[in-house]
Homo-oligomer: A and B are copies of this chain.
Amino acid sequence: MTKTTVLPIDVRFGHCDPAGIVFFPNLHRWMDASSLHFFMQCGVPPWHQLTPVNGIIGTPLLEHHTRFMKPMTYGQRIEVHTSIVEWRDKVFIHQHQIRRDGDLLCEGTETRAFCIRDPKDPTRIRAVPVPADIRALCE
């Protein structure tokens, strides 16, 4: 288990679809934002500062599972509660809970890997083992 961070989001008109509720890929955007927010709150620099140091360009997703319990609409403030629930050698498992006034609206579980550009072909990316110094900052 790790620290848990909380990212508040104000739901906007433009986040909502013709049914008047949040268009779900925005929930994925917010979970992604909350992932980077988590690392930065833990003291990890943003990727564009890390890239010249250790080559890390980000933490692309391998798998994403989301359950949508209740809809949201604009004018509401929600929160994304994010932690890392498991570390493996090359991947880690992120959990995101989207809440409004304590009420659980949506839950996402992500499998991600730290990635660098392939030294032989910079148009390709590949996973590297979880950097120990980043993991230490998150625990």
Contacts and interface: CB of A to CB of B under 8 A. Distances in A.
A90 interface: no
A57 B65 CA distance: 25
B18 A47 contact: yes
Interface residues of A, number: 44
A42 interface: no
Report, nearest first, the 3 A-B pairs whose CB atoms are least far apart: A46-B75, A25-B28, A25-B25
26 contacts: A12-B29, A12-B32, A13-B18, A14-B23, A17-B17, A17-B58, A18-B47, A18-B58, A18-B73, A20-B123, A24-B28, A24-B32, A25-B28, A25-B29, A28-B28, A36-B74, A48-B73, A48-B74, A48-B75, A61-B66, A61-B68, A63-B67, A64-B64, A64-B65, A65-B65, A71-B125
